[in-house]
A = this chain, B = another copy of it.
Amino acid sequence: MSDYMELAKKRQSCRTYKDQKVEHEKLVKCIEAARLTPSACNSQPWSFVVVESPDLVSEVAKTTMHLGINEYIGQAKAFFVVVEERAELMPKIACMIDSQYFAKGDLGAVTLSLCLEAESQGLGTCIVGLFDRPKLRQLLNIPESNGIFLVVAVGYPSGDKVRDKHRKPIDSIVRYM
Q: Tell me the A residues contacting B by CB distance below 8 Å.
A: 1-13, 24, 27, 29, 31-33, 35-38, 40, 42, 44, 46-53, 56, 69, 85, 92-93, 96-97, 101-102, 104-109, 111-113, 115-117, 119-122, 127, 129-130, 140, 149-150, 165-168, 170, 172-177
Contact = CB atoms under 8 A, between A and B. Distances in A.
A50 B177 CA distance: 6
B177 A56 contact: yes
A174 B130 contact: no
Given A105-B107, A150-B105, A170 B3 contact: no
A121 to B, nearest CB: 8
A113 B11 CA distance: 12
B4 A2 contact: yes
Contacts of A111: 105, 109
A173 B48 contact: yes
B104 A105 contact: yes
Nearest to A60: B177
B175 A120 contact: no
A97 to B, nearest CB: 8
Nearest to A49: B175
Contact of A174 (B1, B31, B119): B31
B102 A167 contact: no
Given A108-B105, A108-B106, A150-B105, A8 B177 contact: no
B102 A129 contact: yes
29 contacts: A1-B121, A2-B4, A2-B7, A2-B10, A4-B7, A5-B29, A8-B33, A8-B113, A35-B168, A35-B170, A36-B165, A40-B127, A46-B173, A47-B173, A47-B174, A49-B174, A49-B175, A49-B177, A50-B177, A56-B177, A85-B173, A101-B129, A104-B108, A105-B108, A105-B149, A108-B108, A108-B109, A109-B111, A109-B112
